[in-house]
Structure 1
């Protein structure tokens, strides 16, 4: 029997809001269809995680915020989170709408598009329509359908053929009203032989901690032949927010995607990141870190599905569990029939800092082809007492010794963040969660 969820949306309400926002008819129809699907589809059933017990209905209502002329005119608590010295190549979403967006003139001259997805649907309709919900199917499950009906603000990036974007594009996705629908959808299209790096922060402010809320986020990345996309994202929302994040990439011939995910959210988390290696010679590299504290429940899944010849995937997940936190960490490598010479490698490691914490690492290999290579490694354990003893014998206090070991455990992912300021912010967030 499928688990059902009563949702506070209707086809009529979705159509009305879409038309009020001036969206094209094709998008209004898509949203309405998704709203209808959400009433019949079942929730996903992640391994050993009862998401049907979470408050998934706290979706809020559509509440756009006032536009800002520059980052300096943003509210103080948001302005403090904007990377220092950044104004170009930056997008800021507050609650249900984007309030600031700017792209450098030199990138505009090259044909690069960087704007919110709502605007892109109106101004670049054919381009958006041909790619939206092609990596994530709106009928994938109930949560996907709800997101397809309600998504707001969001990000759209298009990089033309043979264009390399050397400066990372950055976004701040911010919720400070728990009663506002917060459902950003990120769509990145990298045309043939192009390259781009995108970094975002998904954050909630103090004002948004007053009631239950849901972040319903989705990412679609279309990487065409010979293109390269690097995607980095840090999630750090309050414990009253349920974080639902689905990420998908479709990768063409000799194309590559790199995922760098920091799941540092304080509330319950359902995160699913998948690379579909369609093309011959396609590659995917995924690095995920997570820190669980208090009594939060987390389900973190990273997947690679191989279709292309000589395709290659690598997945690394490292998690630290404190207090009574629990995490189910799944790594899934699927090599389809015909994907000869494919190579898939995955590693999941969990470090336990409390006897009441729980972490399950589940490496899964599904191989339907003979001429391939695949491997996995997984471990769950506590801080090594011999390492603690060694450091203390050198005059380091126990608390500092544990901190050094934890930082070393997470360093392989933290060091891969492509922007120094973001690495520093991630390090601060890690120290805050591990020291709280």
Structure 2
């Protein structure tokens, strides 16, 4: 087994001691104190490192597609990158802590310090998987990097660190997948340097008996751009925090989320864009569907701090209810401490519009066909942003399954 640096082991020990004293993250309108976040199982060591696609996720990957990385239980089991990624670091956790130790250490857990909350500390104390992606200065990667995280044994404590240096560009898609009961605790830290652009898309497919905590935290420096598209398609109970700090003048961020909650599932999704510099822009769009006995909650937060003049915070959260016992909440929050700014929000929760149904049915569609067509249109803001045709196809299949179940 590779000897890990002392600073990393000391950080894990410190995190372990902090866990009992820290609070759970805030999940407005969802009670999470009895969720099994602390039920953590140690998985089996992956010995087969042959460069092949695991059968469990073969449907998520086109064998002819370039630029694929598959991480199974913490080990990179498949890696295929073309020349467009020359000079870009794509390393698993062990390689990051050894080959790229100083570079990795200078950014690791800086946006999500271990004292942030109980689940972040649990993550750090039990970290068993991860990926470090570093795009050097002025490097523009035109192709899309498609990463699949697979959890087959034990609990998954995965950390993704993306650093896009000055004037660089990266397009990144991630998929999380498992097919059994487990505890999932994942953190992504993204640093968008001056004039850099990161386009980040995520689609999560996690088992109905999984308990999931996800935290994505991004810092965007001067004139940087961050575009985040989330497909929240987990079947298990989920707390998802998506936090963006606009720290440089002219920084912009746009976060689009699509969520489907079904069965007895609870999904609590927070998107928070905070303005720490003037002339920054933050846009939030949340669209979701709740059915059966499920509970879906969107917390949209736009915060403009004092002195951040010329900034713009906009958000829209809308949810569609497909059954009498389903619940959905859209909570728009604007925290504005400056006068010379723009800010606005829109929120709505309701059933499918009967007039729309009538119009489509008058054109020959059955009621069910009309409902599905309306739902597809409602969710399109995310679907249009998916750059991988394989991922887009899988996303549409999941929507079909969830809506027709």
Q: How far 1:152 moved relative to its partner?
A: 2.0
For residues 85-234 of structure 1, the aligned pairs below 5 Å read 85-86=64-65, 88-108=66-86, 111-177=87-153, 180-205=154-179, 209=180, 212-234=181-203
State the alpha-carbon separation in 2 of the partners of residues 148 and 75 from structure 1: 27
Pick one of 24, 46, 56 that aligns with 1:43. 24
For residues 187-336 of structure 1, the aligned pairs below 5 Å read 187-205=161-179, 209=180, 212-336=181-305
Give the paired residue count: 405
Pick one of 59, 71, 94 that aligns with 1:80. 59
Q: Are the structure 2 counterparts of residues 28 and 249 from structure 1 closer, same or farther at C-alpha, using a change threshold of 3 Å? A: same
Q: TM-score, normalised by structure 2?
A: 0.97
SS of equivalent to 2:119: helix
Q: Are the structure 2 counterparts of residues 220 and 251 from structure 1 closer, same or farther at C-alpha, using a change threshold of 3 Å? A: same
Q: How far 1:105 moved relative to its partner?
A: 4.3
SS of equivalent to 1:165: strand
Q: How far 1:149 moved relative to its partner?
A: 1.4
Give ranges in structure 1 of 5+ residues lacking alignment: 1-19
Pick one of 34, 41, 45 that aligns with 1:64. 45
1:88-118 superposed Cα distances (whole Å, 9 cap, x missing partner): 522212224332334334523xx21012132
Q: Is the 1:67–1:100 contact (alpha carbons within 8 Å) kept by the matching residues of 2?
A: no
For residues 404-415 of structure 1, the aligned pairs below 5 Å read 404-415=373-384
Q: Are the structure 2 counterparts of residues 186 and 280 from structure 1 closer, same or farther at C-alpha, using a change threshold of 3 Å? A: same
State the alpha-carbon separation in 2 of the partners of residues 163 and 181 from structure 1: 35
Q: TM-score, normalised by structure 1?
A: 0.90
Q: How far 1:84 moved relative to its partner?
A: 3.7
The structure in which a higher percent of residues are strand is 2
Q: Does 1:26 align with 2:7?
A: yes
Q: How far 1:119 moved relative to its partner?
A: 1.2
Q: Is the 2:37–2:119 contact (alpha carbons within 8 Å) kept by the matching residues of 1?
A: no
1:359-400 superposed Cα distances (whole Å, 9 cap, x missing partner): 010000001111100000000000011111111111111110
Q: How far 1:64 moved relative to its partner?
A: 3.0
Q: How far 1:62 moved relative to its partner?
A: 4.2
Q: How far 1:150 moved relative to its partner?
A: 1.4
Q: Is the 2:225–2:253 contact (alpha carbons within 8 Å) kept by the matching residues of 1?
A: yes
